Chains A and B, each alone.
Chain A
């Protein structure tokens, strides 16, 4: 039982009970573990339900994720007794991935699952699972095809867990990622058709870190448009960062990462923003709203 079970609505307790039952039926699992909100919750619950000898969380490391995320993954694993294996993935060396087509995520996930599936077999783990949630199903996600090809199961999505459900359940269990902003891979900041390179990923990572150092919390993204960085801020932060003194600080922070032109998106953070720009997903019609908190990210994975 979670340590703060009294904070949970009965429907959430029921959902978690169903997930626990699902895990018991599968006996042992390998969890694709990025250290994000979803996979952290799934790994912690799996250990709680099955025991640490029936769970292995595997982190696929590459330049397409920020270094800070690996540290988060390690911290959560240490605190909750989750056995972790880190492996280096090589999607950036795949020219089909690096060319950044609209189905880029397919090649990334193919690389990831092709490395993780044999680990599960070698260690006698019954199935491979990931942290895809029910909200994610609404976005364009070519990576889901790779998961299907490797028979990766997504119990959170299958059992109807939304991002908000997972945050609430994580909070009740004391998992620190409950309030962590969504963190899709850094390649999701680069419009389709513009090559993904380690140098560009590092520049994006540095720019976002510089924005965090200004005290900006919540969902933010630095979208790469060549020499132009387009900053998507939490909607309730936009007005104050367009004030002249603050705007200069914002500009200097992102310029320090190597961008020469810096712009603030007038609507702020939008999940899957570049899918809309590329025309692979319909835009919603909401305008800028300074009272709206950032939505959860449904990346193109």
Chain B
């Protein structure tokens, strides 16, 4: 398994044409699309994105569905936690 690199994965995804930022949660990479970015709806693009994530050491790639109505700092705490 290659060393995980968020920066490298982000660069690779951008080279694929995806305007995303990336967060790492251990072996899970979360791609956060910029406004209006829709490339990951395409199955072939997703396949390539998953392959890139694997090549950068991530076993999983997820696409965040951002809440465009709220900023991250506005996010509520978790009930029951």
Contacts and interface: CB of A to CB of B under 8 A. Distances in A.
Interface of A: 197, 199-200, 202-203, 225-228, 230, 238-239, 242-244, 247-248, 250-251, 255, 258-267, 273, 276-277, 279, 283, 287-290
Contacts, number: 97
A143 B13 CA distance: 40
B9 interface: no
26 contacts: A197-B80, A200-B80, A200-B81, A225-B28, A227-B78, A230-B28, A238-B43, A242-B38, A242-B63, A251-B65, A255-B67, A263-B30, A263-B62, A264-B63, A264-B65, A265-B62, A266-B31, A266-B53, A266-B61, A266-B62, A267-B60, A276-B60, A277-B26, A277-B60, A287-B47, A287-B50
B5 to A, nearest CB: 18
A264 B41 contact: no
B7 interface: no
Contacts of A243: 41
Q: Majority SS of interface residues in chain A?
A: mixed
A197, A202, A250, A258, most chain B CB atoms within 10 A: A258
Given A230-B28, A287-B50, A261 B75 contact: yes
A279 B26 CA distance: 11
Interface in B23-81: 25-28, 30-31, 38, 40-43, 46-47, 49-51, 53-54, 59-65, 67, 75-76, 78-81
Given A200-B80, A266-B61, A267-B61, A279 B75 contact: no
A265 B60 contact: yes
B37 to A, nearest CB: 10
B75 A277 contact: no
Contacts of A258: 78-80
Contacts of B28: 225, 230, 277
A244 B41 CA distance: 10
Given A227-B78, A279-B27, A263 B42 contact: no
B46 A203 contact: no
Contacts of B63: 242, 263-264, 266
Nearest to A242: B41
Contacts of B41: 239, 242-243
A273 B80 CA distance: 25
Given A255-B67, A261-B75, A267-B46, 17 more contacts: A199-B79, A200-B80, A200-B81, A228-B25, A239-B41, A239-B43, A242-B41, A242-B63, A258-B80, A260-B67, A260-B76, A264-B63, A266-B40, A266-B62, A287-B46, A288-B46, A289-B43
Given A203-B80, A239-B42, A263 B65 contact: yes
Contacts of A267: 46, 50, 60-61
A289 B78 CA distance: 34
Contacts of B27: 277, 279
B80 A266 contact: no
B30 A228 contact: yes
Nearest to B81: A199
Contacts of A242: 38, 40-41, 63
